[in-house]
Structure 1
Amino acid sequence: MQKFTKITSVAAALREADVDTDVIFPARFLLLLDKAGLGKHLFHERRNARGGGKTDFVLNTAPFDKAEILVAGSNFGSGSSREQAVWALTDFGIRCVIAPSFGEIFYSNCFKNGALPLVIEGDAHERVMLAAESGKPLTVDLEAQTVVLPDGEGIGFEIDPYRRRTLMLGLDEIGSILADDASEIAAFEAGHRKDQPWLFLDDGRLERLFSGTRSS
């Protein structure tokens, strides 16, 4: 998983609440199993006109078509639990979504896929939104837990320490377990092998077993 420490980018502004996962990634594309390439289907209905061609949706418009930050309204990512919504965002290049609130499962899925969902509310959120609409770059500093606006104002944010650490190290859940508990896992496996050796075949016995099967 890609590490997240600090990014500086223009931010795409989406002044809309309750943007659900079917809007972010329509259900008809769920048969696509490869994460790579899903970005082209991000906000598919918003970005593509019915008669063909592209709309003036913010993610089709320079410089926001290269944005790594999305500033949205409340309850972003509500609806179904489809993880593809986050896959499409990250494949498009968006690493951070800033909103007053998120769908619970979407919020969790972001951390599992190298994306940072930031909860910023009230007047602070409005200042971030206005900064995004200006087209000037913002900086999201995960280590300092600060969003820096174009005028230099810093807006602090709270984040679970465990999730912050895993994002900064680029660890998903499995990677985090291996990083934190590898020695305990190895000790358990060694003890298990010692206490119940009949459950394990060493290389020599396994080779003889298959050799006997082939010869018969």
Structure 2
Amino acid sequence: MQKFTSLTGVAAPLPMINVDTDMIIPKQFLKTIKRTGLGRNLFDEMRYEPDGTEKPDFVLNRPAYRKAVILVAGENFGCGSSREHAPWALLDFGIRCVIAPSFADIFYNNCFKNGILPIALPQEQVDKLMDDAERGANAILAINLEKQEITGPDGGRIQFDIDPFRKHCLLNGLDDIGLTLQKAPAIEDFEARNRASQPWLWA
């Protein structure tokens, strides 16, 4: 998993509440088990007409936000079904951080497992960042995970909370597999002792 230490880039405003996982990546794109290629269909029904042409008014189709790396959204982001394809699609598009007043629990947990930083803030602070994000090409936010700090285009700073263990995992690029591999020497030692004491289990 890619480490997350700091991030500076364009923030796209998505002032919608209850954005569910089917809106993030519709069900017809869930056949793949690959984590790549889903960015093309992120917010598919909002981004494209039925004939596949782009809807010019959707935020990620606007020139200023085509390379956004941060998304500022409304409350209860990521609700609905527990598909891990939702953070996969965001990450494949280039989104590394989502800021909202609240998140659905499963989506929130899945973000950390895929190198995305979800930041929950009070509504008034999200409103301020949403206003910053409306600046188009000047909607530049800087996020420092070590300091747990967001810096806006005007230099204003907002502190955010994060679970220390999840922070450690993001800073070090550790997903569930990475965490397990940290215990590889102990696992190998156990297997060696187990082979010697119960060889029939390894036949």
Relative to the length of structure 2, the TM-score reads 0.94
Query: In the TM superposition, what is the alpha-carbon distance from 1:120 to its structure 2 partner?
Result: 0.9
Mapping for residues 24-173 of structure 1, pairs under 5 Å = 24-55=24-55, 56-135=57-136, 136-173=139-176
Q: Specify the SS of the correspondent of 2:18.
A: coil
Distance 1:111 1:51 in 2: 35
> What are the Cα deviations for residues 130-175 of structure 1, in whole angstroms up to 9, with x where unaligned?
1111132100111111111111111111111111111111111111
- 191-200 vs 142-151, which deviates more? 191-200
Distance 1:94 1:28 in 2: 21
In structure 2, runs of 5+ residues without a counterpart are none
Query: In the TM superposition, what is the alpha-carbon distance from 1:189 to its structure 2 partner?
Result: 1.7
Cα RMSD for the two superposed structures: 1.3
* C-alpha spacing 1:185/1:51, structure 2 compared with 1 (3 Å): closer
Given the alignment of the two structures, is residue 187 of structure 1 paired with residue 189 of structure 2, yes or no? yes
Query: In the TM superposition, what is the alpha-carbon distance from 1:184 to its structure 2 partner?
Result: 2.4
Distance 2:72 2:119 in 1: 9
Percentage of identical aligned residues: 54
Q: Specify the SS of the correspondent of 2:99.
A: strand
Distance 1:32 1:163 in 2: 27
Distance 1:114 1:52 in 2: 30
Distance 1:83 1:196 in 2: 39
AA at the equivalent of 1:111:
F
Relative to the length of structure 1, the TM-score reads 0.88
Distance 1:126 1:40 in 2: 28
In structure 1, runs of 5+ residues without a counterpart are 202-216
Given the alignment of the two structures, is residue 21 of structure 1 paired with residue 21 of structure 2, yes or no? yes
- 83-92 vs 130-139, which deviates more? 130-139
Structure with higher RCO (Cα < 8 A, 6+ apart): 2
In structure 2, the residue matched to 1:208 is: none
> What are the Cα deviations for residues 47-95 of structure 1, in whole angstroms up to 9, with x where unaligned?
0023442112000112211000000000000000011111110000001
- 188-197 vs 151-160, which deviates more? 188-197
How many residues were matched structurally?
Answer: 200
Q: Specify the SS of the correspondent of 1:159.
A: coil
Distance 2:143 2:19 in 1: 22
